[in-house]
Amino acid sequence: MSMKHIFVQGSRPEAPVLVLLHGTGGNERDLLPIADMIAPGASVLGVRGNVLEHGMPRFFRRLAEGVFDEEDLVARTHELKAFLDEAAAQYSIDRNRMVAVGFSNGANIAASLLFHYSDALQGAVLLHPMVPLRGKELPDLTGVPVFIGAGTNDPICSISETEELHSLLSDAGADSELHWANYGHQLSKLEIDAATAWFERHFNSKA
């Protein structure tokens, strides 16, 4: 298949499959412990980005810190969507029951999926994301639950950037929830606990 990945069949087939999207320099296994905290027993599809930056995997190129190569971002977004379609067929996954869990660069590609497709994801946990594209009309995301985990001291994702993404998703109809923690650009137990509670509310009650 077109992207290096790992699929782990969970003990709860009724739960959504978590699509794990790592940050810069990570790999398809990085977020497995996070997935186990957010949705114990769920199947997981960990994906590795196809772009290398000084040897570090990413999901799309950037021109500088915080400056995306938008043409590459769009192409890689379509590439990831096609991969998810292929993986659903290969592993007999319900394509309509995929929830992304992305950190940093992985959160940005997940947000870009939402910006391009109304049906690519059933929901998303975006941990320290940025606005992937500006000036783009978003698809109808009515009812799509999105969790945004952010740090008030994040030097990469500013408060205004985070609030802008939250507003764009909400304006497109997404059920976007924004959680702040007093941290920088790293994962914290507080935000993972909040994401776990969010997932419980939105998905376990429907399982």
CA 84 – CA 204 distance, rounded (Å): 22
Question: Which member of 30, 112, 154, 166 is catalytic?
Answer: 154
CA 146 – CA 101 distance, rounded (Å): 10
Place of tokens 């993972």: 192
Question: Which member of 104, 112, 116, 166 is catalytic?
Answer: 104
Question: Which member of 179, 185, 188, 193 is catalytic?
Answer: 185
Length of the chain: 207
Residue 152's CB: how many other CB atoms inside 10 A? 11
CA 61 – CA 44 distance, rounded (Å): 25
CA 193 – CA 199 distance, rounded (Å): 10
Is position 30 annotated as part of the catalytic site?
Answer: no
Is position 154 annotated as part of the catalytic site?
Answer: yes
Catalytic residue numbers read 104, 154, 185
